[in-house]
């Protein structure tokens, strides 16, 4: 299981001020760019951010820091937290960053066209919108309907592929089965079925009729031979 560092920039500020770790080591541990760590050290970035001691927060040990200071190539490892906080289940619509909210109508249009089985509540959860907006896009009464272009919400970063697949599978399970008039017959029936047309079925041969026909032909041929002999 992967663990996430708390407040990476504040931790980087503390490591810059209180250790002899290289910029690369701090950048790797805090998931920052080395130039960003250098800017913190030069006072050009993270101004006003108070350093967070990763030792007091239980994310790092003094022994780990000492080991990294002695070897510039050593990569600091995050300590396993002693207390695990269960993941909080999200309730209500997904929060959408301001930079992506303008893409929501395009994502809704894509979902409406490509996954008609999804309910409005499911679409609202996926892209963080309201049922009123979804209804406007469905009936083309949205103020910007003429300019909307269907776009995959996963590609737009509004939801993950896993979340989309879960909602689609759930909608498929909840959808009632549609009974049709004609259904396929079981294989146990069709595998032994004779598909030949009744008009083309092979007739059983009558042995007596065959021999009678042959005898008739032979008799006619003998009579013809006798007539030929009498001529000569």
pLDDT digits (tens, 9 = 90+) for 171-186: 888 766 555 455 555 5
pTM: 0.39
CB 45 within 8 Å of CB 35: no
CB 106 within 8 Å of CB 150: yes
Give the model's pLDDT for residue 189.
Answer: 52
Helix 23-30 crosses helix 34-41 at what angle (to 10 degrees)? 110
The domain locations on the chain are 8-70, 98-174
pLDDT tens track for 4-13: 777 888 899 9
Task: Give the contacts of 62 (CB within 8 A, at least 6 positions apart).
Answer: 55
Task: Give the contacts of 213 (CB within 8 A, at least 6 positions apart).
Answer: none
Q: What is the DSSP letter of 15?
A: H
């Amino acid at each position: 299981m992967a663990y996430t560092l708390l407040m990476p920039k504040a931790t980087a500020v503390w490591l810059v001020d209180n250790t002899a770790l290289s910029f690369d080591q701090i950048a790797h541990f805090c998931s920052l760019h080395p130039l960003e760590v250098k800017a913190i050290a030069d006072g050009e970035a993270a101004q006003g951010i108070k350093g967070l001691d990763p030792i007091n927060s239980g994310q790092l040990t003094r022994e780990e820091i000492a080991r990294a200071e002695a070897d510039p190539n050593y990569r600091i490892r995050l300590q396993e937290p002693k207390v695990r906080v269960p993941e909080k289940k999200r309730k209500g619509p997904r929060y959408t960053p301001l930079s992506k909210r303008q893409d929501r109508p395009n994502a809704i249009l894509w979902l409406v066209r490509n996954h008609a089985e999804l309910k409005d509540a499911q679409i609202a959860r996926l892209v963080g919108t309201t049922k009123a907006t979804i209804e406007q896009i469905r009936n083309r009464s949205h103020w910007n309907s003429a300019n909307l272009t269907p776009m995959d919400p996963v590609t737009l970063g509004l939801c993950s592929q896993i979340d989309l697949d879960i909602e689609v599978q759930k909608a498929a399970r909840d959808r009632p089965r549609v009974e049709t008039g004609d259904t396929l017959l079981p294989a146990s029936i069709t595998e032994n079925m004779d598909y030949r047309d009744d008009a083309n079925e092979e007739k059983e041969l009558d042995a007596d009729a065959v021999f009678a026909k042959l005898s008739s032909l032979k008799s006619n041929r003998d009579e013809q031979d006798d007539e030929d002999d009498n001529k000569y």
